[in-house]
Amino acid sequence: MANCPRCNRPGLDVEKITVAAHAKESSWPLGDEPYLYCDHPDCEVIYFTTFGRALSKGEVKTRVTFKEKDHPRPLCYCKQVTEEDVVAAIQNGASTFEAVKAATGIGGGGHCKITNPAGRCCSRNYKPFIERELAKRGMLGGTSMLIDP
């Protein structure tokens, strides 16, 4: 594991196919070195290599949830569900994780390696978000967030 050249935080291994799916064509060729993903919200770097190559927000074509300050902010890339979709579902009566899932279709897309810029399942991001939103409204409880979508 290597550290991001901008924020110096450890990166997460990411497959080349993920980087290729999200990098703008103007950033190609990507080379043969392995890439890592920077998940720090205040860092402009999305992908980097141990050899010093870095792709910043301007060099990728996908909105990266934690790096976006403006809406819409994606939560589930496979199903194209945003934070705003989840909030709307809760405002319209979804009061449990299962109800939010049913209302939005969030989770279970199975194409995370390609659709999510991190190349991982989005549940590690959307489950805590849904939990926080339900808790803000005093609705947290009942069935667990531990159930996989």
Confidence of residue 139 (pLDDT cuts 50, 70, 90): confident
**Residues 101-121, mean pLDDT to the nearest whole number:** 95
- Residue 142 has a pLDDT of 45
The sign of the dihedral angle between the CA atoms of 119, 121, 124, 128 is: positive
pLDDT in tens, 10-35: 999 999 999 999 999 999 988 889 99
How is residue 102 written in tokens? Answer: 């049913």
Task: For the chain, list the domains and their CATH numbers.
Answer: 12-59 (2.20.25), 65-136 (1.10.10.1100)
pLDDT exceeds cutoff 90 at 114: yes
